[in-house]
Chain A
Amino acid sequence: MTDDAGNLSIDFLAGFTIFMIAFIYVATMIPGLFINLQSKSIDYDAVAYRTGVILVEDPGMPYNPSWATLTDYNKGDILRFGLALSKNTPNILSPIKIDRFFCSTAFVYPDDYQSRAVFGDYPYQFNVSFQRMGDNITKSVGDPRPDGYGYSRRIVKIKEESNATMGFSGSLNQGYTQNATTQLFSVYFNYTQLTGEGPDNNNPAYQINPLSPLSEGVVINLTDLDKIPKNTTPLPIANLSSISFYRSRSLSAQSAQHSGFSFFPVNLTDTDPTRTYKLYIDGNSTPTTTLPMEVKNNVSLILPPGFLNFAGSGDASTWLNITMQFDLTDGLGNHKSDYFLNSTQVPPYGAFEYNYTSSNITQPHLSDGVLEVAVW
């Protein structure tokens, strides 16, 4: 027997066809709804913004001691880059961190930066650049920018470290009228005062901080040494014989009492830059590595970032005395007595104090810069 049960009718075919056409049309329309919400350019802009915020407003992790003080060997301990001085000073950057961040020998693009500044699972390409305003030198890390990329620009300030310049062509040379063959010139750091009595309520932006995590470097310049009056002819030859470091700290049993100053050795050729100093004599571009050395006009003693923290062993009660010993000789190498540097009579410590009030010290100040992040 033949019947037509299960046959499709023309009506059903026509209706089903119209339904499918409408369904396919709507289905293809749906992805277009989310173009504005899911475009790659927005994602890149957001990542660039996030990276800019991390770099400019965050001090990084670890914070104390700062990630910038970790050696290349220990860079695996760095969890997050951040260039800010502290979490309370957004947009004010540390020059030490800037130099460290853009160090191409320490960090490899993109892996080291991706996991510590850019973040995210997607393998972004990026370029981070920094420039001081008024300067034509741009520090940069990353690939050249393509035509389209996510972008963030931040305006920042950079904390410029303090320095002391003692010129002896003017009033400073008046007191050095003591005949001696060996003369001492000392500079004194009171860590308690430097860390506790900084200007603007101890604002990190204007503080001379000898301790971690900032542990800034300082420069001590002695200039116009040949202008110091002499008492004899022919003029003696001045030789910088040694630079000695002495420290005093509060006694553990009686915190109000300080220990006597004790000598501690510093190796001028130490390979760890935070445990030694650099010495430049008479404008020579090569640092001096051996003493004694004849000095005609000027001496620059550079204590790099981290050195003062090392010298004080991270103790805020430290008093640090740096003494330069000068020996005067005649042309034949014999000791000769004459006027020269002698700060032993300078009150109250027999040394020039590196503090917030001395007119010889250029206090920390802020300069302008711009940082750009491009991500694609």
Chain B
Amino acid sequence: MVNDDGQLYTIEGFAAGMIMLFTAYLVLGATSVYTPGDTHISDMQLEQLGTDALRMMNTPVNSTTDSPLQNITETSVNNPADAKKTFNMTFLNYVNNKTGSETDNLHYSAIVSYRNITDGNTTWSYPLASNRNLTGGEHPVRVTEWVIVDNKIGSNVKQNRSVLVEVLLWRD
């Protein structure tokens, strides 16, 4: 006796195939939740470099002097041109230097933010220096360093204040 018990029909195989393809489509679509690894590593390297540069600029050369970054930030209040020139030279020297004779070619834009206690504790900021303007097409990373300064920035009296130096750093 011939019957069709246990047989798989064409339409069922086709349906199974479609289900698998649809599942694969969903899985592929779900990969967008993962951060693309290469971009992340590249950003991390820039962040590390910028963080190192600001930290080293905020380290005094010897026990009797202030750090270069403190001097620059204090100067930026009364003489922004000098501060910009010094920051530009020092920061680029740090981030572009490599072992060997080649150098890197990074761009940055730096601002200083502080709490203004003469204006209701609002946060103010002003540009410190930059070697290129951001146009919107770049992919910059953000690095910051707290700096203790001893002047009247955001205050009526000369006193130790912490201000935030923030740098956007990118590579062409």
A residues in contact (CB < 8 Å) with B: 3-5, 9, 11-12, 14-19, 21-23, 25-26, 29, 33, 36-37, 39, 41-42, 45-46, 49, 52, 91-92, 129-131, 133, 136, 138, 140, 151-157, 198-200, 203, 205-206, 356, 363-368, 370-372
Contacts and interface: CB of A to CB of B under 8 A. Distances in A.
A372 B99 contact: yes
B41 interface: yes
A45 B45 contact: yes
B56 A156 contact: yes
B100 A131 contact: yes
Contacts of A151: 45
26 contacts: A9-B7, A11-B10, A14-B13, A15-B16, A16-B13, A18-B16, A19-B17, A22-B21, A29-B28, A33-B27, A36-B34, A39-B37, A45-B41, A45-B45, A49-B48, A91-B55, A91-B56, A91-B59, A129-B99, A129-B100, A136-B101, A155-B97, A205-B59, A206-B63, A363-B64, A370-B98
Contacts of A26: 20-21, 23-24
Nearest to B93: A133
B9 A15 contact: yes
A356 B64 CA distance: 11
A138 B55 contact: no
A155 B49 contact: yes
Main secondary structure of the interface of B (DSSP, over half): helix
A154 B52 contact: yes
Nearest to A23: B20
B39 to A, nearest CB: 9
Interface string B111-154: 00000000000000000000000000000000000000000000
A198 B63 CA distance: 9
The 6 closest A-B pairs by CB, nearest first: A15-B13, A22-B17, A199-B63, A155-B52, A206-B63, A129-B99
A29 B24 contact: yes
A33 B37 CA distance: 13
Interface in B39-62: 41, 44-45, 48-49, 52-53, 55-56, 59-62
Given A15-B10, A19-B16, A199-B63, 19 more contacts: A3-B1, A9-B4, A12-B9, A16-B13, A22-B16, A22-B17, A22-B20, A26-B21, A26-B23, A36-B37, A45-B41, A153-B45, A153-B48, A155-B97, A198-B63, A200-B63, A364-B63, A366-B62, A370-B98
B172 interface: no
Contact of A12 (B1, B8, B34, B45): B8
A40 to B, nearest CB: 11
A138 B100 contact: yes
Contact of B61 (A46, A356, A366): A366
B2 A4 contact: yes
Contacts of A363: 62-64
B17 A11 contact: no
B59 to A, nearest CB: 6
A369 to B, nearest CB: 9
Given A21-B17, A41-B38, A49-B44, A15 B2 contact: no
B167 to A, nearest CB: 14
Interface in B46-90: 48-49, 52-53, 55-56, 59-64
Nearest to A9: B7
Given A3-B1, A33-B28, A131 B14 contact: no
A28 B18 CA distance: 16
B116 to A, nearest CB: 30
A122 to B, nearest CB: 18
Contacts of B27: 33
Contacts of B16: 15, 18-19, 22
A102 B22 CA distance: 57
B63 A157 contact: no
A370 B94 CA distance: 8
